[in-house]
Amino acid sequence: MKKILASHLSAGPTLVAWLGATVLVERLWAFCLPAVLLLVLLAVVCCVRSGSGTGPPPGPPAEGKAVFITGCDTGFGNAAAKHLDSLGLDVFATVLDLTGDGARALRRSCSSRLTLLQVDITQPQQVQQALLDTKAKLGLRGLWGLVNNAGVCVNLGDAELSLMSNFRGCMEVNFFGTVSVTKSFLPLLRQAKGRIVNISSPAGDQPFPCLAAYGASKAALNLFTETLRHELVPWGVKVSTILPSSYKTGKPRPQTSTWPHLQGAASKAAPPAAPSSNNAYWEQQHQQLLQSLPPALMEEYGEDYIAETKDLFQSFAEHANPDLSPVVNAIVHALLSPQPQLRYFAGPGIGLMYFIHSYCPLSISNRFLQKLFVKKTLMPRALRKQSGLEKNNTKNNNKII
């Protein structure tokens, strides 16, 4: 290269540039190829691991251990209570309705060890009463496990269209309610050096469209869980987070708290999972949203845009996975394994989703979310009008020219 530059040839700089680019590409390829192969291998491992599920671990014996589970009317909580009871644990299961279908099913299928408690986790008095009832049954024993499963998912539309009551309601149940239960039962958990298992959602880590209220509450829960995990290390209490994919978690039940519009504080933890595939539920939510929107917003977005969002959520709920066993197995593993995982990707595709979110460029991650969830075809009405005006202006300008 020095000789070429010294020769004062006109082609010298161009040749040097080409040679330099060639060497650079060669070095980058040699450096990046192993990294690319490693990333591909990690992606495959994540997919296999998230899809394989976690079976019952060869951990400490289950007999004699007590577990407190919230949100057992339907879904993950109901299924986990039945399974843990079958393994010999003393299960304290909270429901919103002691006379409901979920409570009756638990009484029929579980042993006499099961204790049903009516608890709305947004009501501190009910949480404290549940604590007293649990202490009375435990005696001198501590509490081995707390499964914070109760939650709500109210998701009908863009953040601007979501009611403030939806944001407050999701935070009150998914975050503040869980914090209240956890703080109340921590002395019993510390006594037993037990486990805390929080059912969260990938929506708390990734920006799923139309899930702003739900995702924000789960993001708060995720940070609380991670902080708690560090703080409880000296006490010997292990803390795990379960991140489910989309599951059918049952028909929602009326919420008895001060947010009566919310549906069922049973398990609704899957990120894009809708609370129900019930047509009446979605129509009710849709009509409530239409009635509450200011006329200006309705004009900007359009009723057809809002209706499409409702249809997409309902379709997503109808195609959700009815097999809850990956989540139930993850709960069992987190409670009984000698070394529980910090995070469980419960369901196919969750590991791959987190891999793409963590290691791929943001543009690829965003496109993946858009292709995966709420594939809208309509733009808001105001944008459609603007687009039409721009086309007309372009035609007129062309005619003038």
Residue 269 carries which side chain, given as an amino acid letter? A
For the ranges 75-89, 186-200, 326-340, 363-377, the lowest mean pLDDT is seen at 363-377
Q: How many residues does the chain have?
A: 401
Please check whether residues 9 and 156 belong to one and the same domain: no
Please enumerate in sequence order all residues whose Cβ is within 8 A of that of 105, keeping only pairs 6 or more positions apart, or say none: 78
Pair (145, 219) in one structural domain: yes
Residue 397 lies in a domain: no
Q: Which of 214, 247, 281, 305 is catalytic?
A: 214
State whether residue 238 is helix, strand or coil.
strand
Q: Which domain holds residue 250?
A: 55-384
Say yes or no: 18 and 138 in one domain: no
Per residue, what are the HEC states of 249-265? CCCCCECCCCCCCCECC
| pLDDT tops 80 at residue 181 | yes
- Please indicate, yes or no, whether residues 36 and 71 belong to a single structural domain of this protein: no
Phi, psi of 248 (to 5 degrees): -80, 115
Give the domain CATH number at 201: 3.40.50.720
Each residue of 204-251: pLDDT tens digit? 998 888 889 999 999 999 999 999 999 999 999 999 999 998 887 764
**CA atoms of 203 and 242, how far apart (whole Å):** 12
If one counts the domains in the chain, the total is: 2
Q: Looking at the structure, tell me whether residues 231 and 351 fall in a common domain.
A: yes
Judge contact between 180 and 129, C-beta under 8 A: no
Active site residue 247: no
Answer yes or no: do 31 and 109 share one domain. no
Same domain, 25 and 83: no
Torsion of CA 104, 110, 116, 120, to 10 degrees: -70
* Distances, alpha carbon 67 to alpha carbons 87, 196, 343, in Å: 12, 10, 19
Whole-number Å distance between alpha carbons of 147 and 269: 13
Beta-sheet pairing, 238-244 with 145-148: unpaired
286 falls within a domain: yes
Q: Which residue has the higher pLDDT, 246 or 182?
A: 182
Which of 98, 78, 113, 140 lies closest to 331, judged by CA?
78
81 vs 363: CA distance, rounded Å: 41
Closest CA to 200 of 224, 184, 183: 224
Question: Does residue 94 sit in the same domain as residue 28?
Answer: no
Cα gap 27→94, rounded to integer Å: 61
- Evaluate whether residue 354 is within a structural domain: yes
3-class DSSP state for residue 387? helix
Question: Does residue 392 sit within a domain?
Answer: no
| Cβ atoms 319, 272 nearer than 8 A | no
| Average pLDDT of span 165-192 | 96
Higher model confidence: residue 378 or residue 281?
Answer: 378
Q: Which long-range contacts (CB under 8 A, 24 or more apart) does 391-396 make?
A: none
For the stretch 35-61, pLDDT in tens is: 666 666 666 655 555 444 455 554 556
Domain match, 33 and 167 both: no
| Average pLDDT of the residues in 274-287 | 68
Question: Three-state DSSP class for 39?
Answer: helix
User: Exposed (0-12), middle (13-18) or buried (19+): which is 77, by Cβ within 10 Å?
Assistant: buried
**pTM of the shown model:** 0.78
175 and 230: one domain? yes
Q: Residue 16 falls within a domain, yes or no?
A: yes
Q: Which amino acid is at 6?
A: A
Provide the token pair at 64.
């004699």
Q: What is the 3-state secondary structure (H, E, C) of 102-159?
A: HHHHHHHHCCCCCEEEECCCCCHHHHHHHHHHHHHHHCCCCCCEEEECCCCCCCCCCC
- At residue 68, the 3 state secondary structure works out as strand
**Above pLDDT 90, what percent of the chain?**
50
CA distances for 362 relative to 357, 366, 368, angstroms = 7, 6, 10
User: How confident is the prediction for the chain on average, in pLDDT?
Assistant: 82
Amino acid at 132: L
Confirm whether 133 is domain-assigned.
yes
